[in-house]
Amino acid sequence: MKDRCPVFSDLDSYRLTDEPFYRPAGTEVAFFEHAYTHRLPVILKGPTGCGKTRFIEHMAWKLGRPLITVACNEDMTASDLVGRYLLDAHGTTWHDGPLTTAVRSGAICYLDEIVEARQDTTVVIHPLTDGRRILPLDKRGEVVRAHPDFQLVVSYNPGYQSRTKDLKPSTRQRFVAMHFEYPDEAVEAAIVAKEASVPIELAAQLVKLAHRTRALKDRGLEEGVSTRMLIYTATLIRAGVEPRESCEATMTQALTDEPDVIRALRGIVDAHFA
C-alpha cells in the first residue's frame, strides 16, 4: 500500500479570477473581513436564494483565497469530506477530500446547507472550530494542522429547520453567525437589473411582485420568491419569453404544487402584468 502525501497542483482551479457581483446590504463585508483576519469560523444564515453563496464567493475573491465549496446532503459521509483510500494507477493511495484539501492549503472551505449533512458527519469539523485548528485523519493515522490562511464557513436556511435537521448546540456555538435577508427593494432591483441585464424598471416591478409572495410565507408557502428566482425570471423575459409565462415557470410552478397557492400566485402575477 502506498501512502503518498497529496499535492495541490490544481488549487488554482478554486481561485475566482473575476470579481463576483455582490451589492452589500449593510456592514457584512467589513464584518467578514474582521472574522477572516482572526480566522473565526462563520455561519451564514438566511433564506434560500438571498445571496449567501454569492457573498462568500465575493469575499474569497476580495481576500484572494481559493474557495472550496461542498454542497451538503444526507448521504454525505465523513470520508466524503476528509478523504479515503482508493485504487488508482499507483495502487492503493490516500486521496484528500475537499475539507482536508482546504485545511492543508489554506483555502476557505464553504459547507453549503450544513444541516442537510448527517450529524455524525458534521462532528468532524469540531476540532477545526476551536483553538486547536486540527483535522484528525483516523484512517490515515495523521493529524493535519490547519494552514494559517484556512477558514471554515458554513450556511443553512433557518426557515427549513426541524428537530431532525438542525445544528447541534455543540456545533452552532463554535461559530460566529451572520444573518442574511433579502435586500431592500432598491438594492434587490439593482442586483436583478445587473445580473439579468434588464432595465431597472422591469427589475423593480419584479421585486415588488416578490415582496407580495413573501407575505404568503407560512400561509401556504415555505418561502417566497427569492432574488435568484427574480434573476431567472428577468433573464427569460429579456430572451423574449412573455412575462406571465416566465413567472409561471420560474416562480409559480417552482414554489408549490398546491392548487390554491398556485391560484394565489397567479393572481399576484396578473396584478403586476395586467
pLDDT in tens, 236-269: 999 999 999 999 999 999 999 999 999 999 999 9
The predicted model scores a pTM of 0.88
For the chain, give the percent of residues with pLDDT over 90. Answer: 71
Q: What pLDDT is recorded for position 33?
A: 98
Q: Determine the average pLDDT of the residues in 134-138.
A: 95
More confident residue, 223 or 137: 137
Tell me, what amino acid is at 108? I
Phi, psi of 19 (to 5 degrees): -70, 120
pLDDT band at 1 (very low <50, low <70, confident <90, very high): very low
Q: What is the mean pLDDT of the chain?
A: 90
11-179 topology per CATH: Rossmann fold (3.40.50)
135 and 103 Cβ atoms separated by less than 8 Å: yes
80 and 97 Cβ atoms separated by less than 8 Å: yes
Nearest to 175 by CA among 160, 199, 155: 155
180 and 22 Cβ atoms separated by less than 8 Å: no
Nearest to 207 by CA among 222, 219, 220, 194: 194
Domain parsing of the chain, residue ranges: 11-179, 185-272
Q: What pLDDT is recorded for position 194?
A: 96
Question: In which region does residue 141 sit, left (phi positive, over 0), alpha (psi from -120 to 50) or beta (all else)?
Answer: left
Checking if the pLDDT of 122 tops 90, the result is: no
pLDDT in tens, 55-89: 999 999 999 999 999 999 989 999 999 999 888 77
